[in-house]
Amino acid sequence: MMKDAMYIPTYQDMLDAHDRILPHIRRTPVRTSDYLNELTGAQLFFKCENFQEPGAFKVRGAANAVFGLDEAQAARGVATHSSGNHASCLSYAAMRRGIPCNVVMPRTAPQAKKDTVRRYGGVITECEPSTSSREETFAKVQAATGGDFVHPYNDPRVIAGQGTCSREFMEQTDGLDMVVAPIGGGGMISGTCLTLATLAPETRVIAAEPEQADDAYRSFKAGHIIADDAPKTIADGLLVPLKDLTWHFVSNHVSEIYTASDAEIVDAMKLIWKHLRVVMEPSSAVPLATILKNKDAFAGKRVGIIITGGNVDLDTLPWI
- Kindly report whether the global pTM for this prediction surpasses the value 0.75: yes
Pairing state of beta strands 254-260 and 30-31?
Answer: unpaired
Are 69 and 175 members of one domain? no
Are 247 and 308 members of one domain? yes
| Structure confidence at residue 1 (pLDDT) | 58
Report yes or no on 16 lying in a domain.
yes
Report yes or no on 2 lying in a domain.
no
Report yes or no on 29 lying in a domain.
yes
Are 189 and 265 members of one domain? yes
Are 43 and 134 members of one domain? no
Are 186 and 213 members of one domain? yes
Are 271 and 167 members of one domain? yes
Are 136 and 161 members of one domain? no
Write down which residue in 113, 132, 149 finishes a domain. 149
Report yes or no on 290 lying in a domain.
yes
Given a contact cutoff of 8 angstroms between Cβ atoms, the answer to whether 184 and 177 are in contact is no
| Structure confidence at residue 109 (pLDDT) | 85
CB atoms within 10 A of CB 127: 23
Are 231 and 253 members of one domain? yes
Q: Is 111 exposed, middle or buried (0-12, 13-18, 19+ CB in 10 A)?
A: exposed
Which CATH number does the domain housing residue 216 bear?
3.40.50.1100
Given a contact cutoff of 8 angstroms between Cβ atoms, the answer to whether 208 and 257 are in contact is yes
Are 20 and 125 members of one domain? no
Report yes or no on 6 lying in a domain.
no
Write down which residue in 101, 120, 149 finishes a domain. 149
Report yes or no on 224 lying in a domain.
yes
Domain that holds residue 124: 59-149
Helix segments in 125-261, DSSP class H: 131-145, 156-173, 187-199, 215-222, 244-253
Q: Provide the domain count of the chain.
A: 2
Report DSSP letters for 105-124, one per residue: EETTS-HHHHHHHHHTTPEE
Report yes or no on 1 lying in a domain.
no
| Structure confidence at residue 6 (pLDDT) | 81
Are 105 and 170 members of one domain? no
- Taking only the tens of pLDDT, the chain with its 320 residues reads 555 548 999 999 999 999 999 999 999 999 999 999 999 999 999 999 999 999 999 999 999 999 999 999 999 999 999 878 899 999 999 999 999 999 999 998 888 889 889 999 999 999 998 878 988 999 999 999 999 999 999 999 999 999 999 999 999 998 999 999 999 999 999 999 999 999 999 999 999 999 999 999 999 999 999 988 778 899 988 988 999 999 999 999 999 999 999 999 999 999 999 999 999 999 999 999 999 999 999 999 999 999 999 988 777 788 87
CB atoms within 10 A of CB 72: 7
Write down which residue in 100, 132, 149 finishes a domain. 149
Are 114 and 232 members of one domain? no
The one-letter amino acid code at 106 reads: P
Report yes or no on 4 lying in a domain.
no
Are 193 and 222 members of one domain? yes
Residues in a beta bridge with 45? 304
| Structure confidence at residue 5 (pLDDT) | 45
